[in-house]
């Protein structure tokens, strides 16, 4: 199974990109030999990291 993180990071907190990359590598290694049937072959995780003051650009919304 393929697992990947698709990060979207503000310039202010770009320092977190290295940590996100390390987590992504560990997820890939963990799920590389796992199988959950033919219905799930790939899982992409969207990750949005924003810094203080970016609430106006990325307003907080409730879960659907």
pLDDT digits (tens, 9 = 90+) for 43-63: 888 887 777 777 676 677 788
The reported pLDDT for the residue numbered 46 is 86
Mean pLDDT to the nearest integer, 29-38? 87
Lookup result for tokens 């924003």: 50
How many CB atoms sit inside 10 A of residue 23's CB? 13
Give me the numbers of helices (H) and strands (E) for the chain, helices first please: 1, 2
More confident residue, 12 or 29: 29
- pTM attached to this predicted model: 0.62
């Amino acid at each position: 199974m393929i697992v990947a993180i698709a990060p979207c990071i503000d310039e202010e907190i770009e320092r977190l990109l290295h940590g996100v990359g390390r987590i992504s590598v560990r997820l890939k290694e963990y799920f590389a030999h796992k199988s959950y049937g033919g219905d799930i072959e790939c899982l992409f995780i969207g990750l949005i990291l924003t810094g203080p003051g970016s609430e106006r650009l990325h307003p907080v919304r409730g879960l659907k």
